[in-house]
């Protein structure tokens, strides 16, 4: 039977990623990292359903990258895993297997930390469950494309490793927001950086500017012509640009810079737009939000 996906260009074919490995080795964290990269993640899936789910995928239907976490929690169903993998290969669909493991000592420590039994230990010790699981998973480990030893990895290190393995860079880029706001309405709760531009003269007290906003050219020109305005923007952008890339490195791809004045209508809007424009010229994708504009 011809697989319809085999006729698609390689870049458009659905991707299937199987996450498996030792209990306690980090499958949950790996799944979360994949969700952050917009993969469709299914946890604790009985292996035989993987074929059904994979054949439901169609390029362009919104689900083109499937990550399935399969492990011994599925009980007797797990024994079918190797044959299921063989069947998927026969269809011609692309898939990869990432196997997570850790040392016995580290796995014991993790189980003791969460105070939960190993799924295979029964009435025995945690080590008994670990030994039984290693034997059960050996055939699948032999077929793995990548084996990751998480013994010395923190949860953040593991997430970075997953990103390195599968990310094409599109989703990992920094999502930067520059938001204007009025201090009299309170600080934005989601601000990572807060900039106070109340050191600039307030256009509100200029009769012909009072009814306008920082979007209007008259207000923008007035604000940027004030002593220290452009110097402040220059120095602020110069200071923050070198650190922006570090946010993505630390698994924090969403950053908000909040620029505040008294009412969030004149100065903060003009300065926000200017900061955003400078950052865009530096190659950063930036969106602007004016939280309190029109609120007065």
Please report the pLDDT score of residue 280 as a whole number: 92
Topology of the domain covering 4-166: Rossmann fold (3.40.50)
Q: What span, in angstroms and rounded, lies between the C-alpha atoms of 4 and 18?
A: 21
- Answer yes or no: is pLDDT of 170 > 60: no
- DSSP conformational letter for 13: S
* Residue 288 pLDDT level (bands cut at 50, 70, 90): very high
Q: What span, in angstroms and rounded, lies between the C-alpha atoms of 228 and 223?
A: 10
- Is residue 50 within 8 A of residue 68, CB to CB? The reply is yes
Q: Which of 58-72, 149-163, 222-236 has the lowest mean pLDDT?
A: 58-72
- DSSP conformational letter for 288: E
Would you list the domain boundaries of the chain?
A: 4-166, 175-290
- Answer yes or no: is pLDDT of 10 > 50: no
3-class SS at 31? helix
- Answer yes or no: is pLDDT of 249 > 80: no
Q: Which of 87-101, 203-217, 234-248 has the lowest mean pLDDT?
A: 87-101
CA distances, 280 to each of 97, 183, 266, 284 (Å): 39, 26, 21, 5
């Amino acid at each position: 039977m011809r697989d319809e996906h085999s006729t698609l260009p390689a870049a458009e074919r659905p991707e299937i990623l199987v996450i498996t490995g030792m209990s306690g080795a980090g499958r949950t964290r790996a799944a979360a990292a994949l969700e952050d990269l917009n993969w469709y993640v299914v946890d604790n899936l009985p292996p035989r359903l993987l074929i059904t789910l994979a054949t439901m995928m169609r390029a362009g239907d919104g689900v083109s990258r499937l990550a399935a976490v399969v492990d011994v929690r599925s009980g007797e169903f797990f024994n079918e895993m190797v044959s299921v993998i063989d069947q998927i290969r026969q269809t011609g669909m692309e898939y990869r297997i990432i196997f997570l493991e850790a040392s016995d000592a580290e796995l014991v420590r993790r189980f003791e930390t969460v105070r939960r039994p190993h799924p295979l230990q029964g009435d025995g010790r945690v080590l008994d469950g670990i030994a039984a699981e290693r034997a059960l998973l050996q055939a699948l480990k032999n077929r793995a494309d990548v084996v990751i030893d998480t013994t010395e990895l923190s949860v953040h290190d593991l997430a970075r490793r997953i990103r390195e393995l599968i990310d094409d860079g599109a989703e990992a880029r920094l999502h930067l927001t520059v938001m204007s706001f009025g201090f009299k309405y309170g600080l934005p709760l989601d601000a990572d950086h807060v900039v106070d531009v109340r050191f600039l003269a307030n256009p509100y007290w200029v009769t012909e500017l009072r009814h306008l906003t920082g979007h209007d050219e008259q207000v923008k020109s007035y604000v940027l012509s004030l002593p220290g305005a452009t110097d402040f923007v220059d120095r602020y952008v110069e200071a923050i640009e070198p650190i922006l890339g570090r946010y993505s490195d630390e698994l924090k791809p969403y950053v908000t810079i909040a620029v505040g004045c008294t009412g969030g209508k004149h100065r903060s809007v003009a300065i926000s737009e200017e900061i955003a424009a400078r950052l865009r010229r530096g190659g950063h994708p930036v969106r602007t939000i004016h939280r309190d504009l029109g609120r007065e």
